[in-house]
Structure 1
């Protein structure tokens, strides 16, 4: 496992930055590439850990395409891709690409990025790690006919749906590309004390993340970062099983898992609909398609 190339989106803050710090200390032989939205914060973390960095705003899919092109120009393989960028937002907002913001940032952008890097992942160890959330269990319900929440919208529901979709994404990726050496997994890092939800002002988010209750109810960023680092530095098939969903670093129990996670028909329908939204042609046998989006 020496000399892995690890790309971490959402690497400028929170558990992405913490995981980068821990990996840099423990495994200086790994090549870390951080992706963030803030130029200042991303560069600062990259300097701390001796990493390379790129900028991308996931509210713009053109940024995702440019990021993929930049990565292709910098590396000839990606051993691990951490789809860790995400967030919860306030009122419903539509991006310039025509998608609901929460869904695009948390799901569509990483889905597209992963698709554009499939050959680099195949050239490497092929591990794809999706950061999900406990909200996938509590409030998530994926409706393939309303992924963009045009019929109904609430900030936490949209976030929970997107984080549930991250699990379906990992399962679909494993089903379609596992035979080509792509090892996908999704995990809930735990409720972490970070700047999460800064753009959302609902009562529950304010109570959990912006009051002294956070010291009691939430785990420290270092712990969340170590949970992410576990998957980024572990060996698929040994440290963790591809196609599975984990609660922190343990296989999630039934009570920790949304029932939709085990619905293979839904996973396939979700995959096909997401490809349609992104203009991706992706054959069910796992061969690479193309993106028209």
Structure 2
């Protein structure tokens, strides 16, 4: 490409229903952004489909990287290589990280190799570890509101069902009887808690960076609303949940008469996320903690009440930092380079 690239956009779950649509939306509106899409299987049909869709848009800088968010080793290996690539000017500075990948499950699972509930590690710890491990790649920006980096965390309405202490006392059933079914209510609370912790911890991280450093990094959460399409990371949903989803899909044209967030194709929130990610900002707006429900903007503290308690936020940040530190030290130095598949 003749024109220099202006930044790197990293999207987790880049081959998922929402992640792929975000990538396509960015490719359409930001031709000089390097798209670095993360996926668990870079040889899947969904990856091939995304690459082909973006190729049809026009010349774009695009690559897929194999990363397993349920593995500290995989995440840290990726971030170490990415920071080096930025330093060596192989790719432009990271100006955008979209934590889109998520795991939902209606069964219990064995804890991960790092010792955590896989839903918690995938949805909360991994995005946090990914963000803090990329700080040197973010630092390569010019330090201004529009020259700094943005982290957009994909949230969900079920955070209202979650609690910050949900994963503090692991259920022994997770290890003793993996595969046991969970009720829809419990699965929603589990998923919502993981998303709540992720969002709150990210805002706490942002506050710490503002107070202690000069890094220009802003953090948002965006609730995409209910979407049609299948998730690549949902395990064994009960029949009642599947039937409810199918019913809502069939009623989508009628539901949207009453609420634009009732049911949307993934392309709808994807366009909003792509717009928010590259929207020009003022210094005043840069200082605000924002939470989006589609394109409606709210103060983050009004959606996540814990943010109004500084001590609780500090304790959460400390806990997350300790968990990733213990996990990374426990695994040792990453031994293998991540696999890359360039377009």
TM-score (norm 2): 0.73
Aligned CA distance change for structure 1 residues 69 and 254 (closer, same or farther; 3 Å)? closer
Pairing partner for 2:104 from 88, 91, 100 = 88
Pairing partner for 1:142 from 142, 164, 175 = 164
Aligned CA distance change for structure 1 residues 207 and 213 (closer, same or farther; 3 Å)? same
SS at match of 1:5: strand
Pairing partner for 1:183 from 208, 218, 222 = 218
Mapping of 1:258-273 within 5 angstroms?
258-273=304-319
2:39 is the alignment partner of 1:22: no
- Which shifted more, 251-260 or 47-56? 251-260
2:53 is the alignment partner of 1:48: yes
Residue 199 of structure 1 corresponds to which residue in structure 2? 235
2:248 is the alignment partner of 1:213: yes
Which of these two proteins has the greater Rg computed from alpha carbons? 2
Aligned CA distance change for structure 1 residues 274 and 148 (closer, same or farther; 3 Å)? farther
Task: Give runs of ≥4 in structure 1 deviating > 4 Å.
Answer: 236-242, 253-256
Q: CA deviation at 1:253?
A: 6.8
Q: CA deviation at 1:240?
A: 6.9
2:258 is the alignment partner of 1:235: no
Is the Cα contact below 8 Å between 1:6 and 1:78 reproduced in 2? yes
Pairing partner for 1:6 from 5, 9, 12 = 9
Q: CA deviation at 1:237?
A: 4.3
Q: CA deviation at 1:142?
A: 0.9
| Unmatched tracts of structure 1, length 5 or more | 282-290
TM-score (norm 1): 0.85
| Unmatched tracts of structure 2, length 5 or more | 55-59, 88-92, 142-147, 174-181, 253-261, 331-343
- Which shifted more, 182-191 or 68-77? 68-77
SS at match of 1:32: strand
Residue 90 of structure 2 corresponds to which residue in structure 1? none
Aligned CA distance change for structure 1 residues 157 and 118 (closer, same or farther; 3 Å)? same
Residue 338 of structure 2 corresponds to which residue in structure 1? none
SS at match of 1:180: coil
Pairing partner for 2:149 from 116, 122, 126 = 126
Is the Cα contact below 8 Å between 1:15 and 1:221 reproduced in 2? yes
- Which shifted more, 172-181 or 127-136? 172-181
Is the Cα contact below 8 Å between 2:16 and 2:101 reproduced in 1? no
